Structure 1
Amino acid sequence: MMIEVEIDQCVGGGQCVMAAPDVFDQDDDGLVVVLDENPGPDRADDVALAARLCPARAIRLAGT
């Protein structure tokens, strides 16, 4: 799975960090930072949840 982020859409809600803290973080402005652009299958459920919870729909998953 590959993570694609539209940083211009991010509103800094932080839902991604709460769902998958080892994959996502936030910068000083609160915007999403992807720590692992290609997480393994063991992270798939958490990453999918992060994408679903994103209020701005700024996170997309490819190869799922």
Structure 2
Amino acid sequence: MALEMRTVCERCETGVAAEGVAWICSYECTFCADCTAAMERTCPNCGGELVRRPRRVAT
């Protein structure tokens, strides 16, 4: 099962590139850096911790 690389912040709807910086919770809710900071790194959907999403290396 692969991580879904969502391309939009769920809070402000700003685009988040798959190779760019984004923050996710364990349910893969995705947020931009600005929204993550404003929410104190806590997911508003599940209350879980937001961590930096890993990036995929192009093959």
Per the normalisation by structure 1, the TM-score is: 0.25
Per the normalisation by structure 2, the TM-score is: 0.26
Compare the two structures and name the one with the higher helix fraction: 1
Q: Which entry has the higher C-alpha Rg, 1 or 2?
A: 2
Compare the two structures and name the one with the higher strand fraction: 1
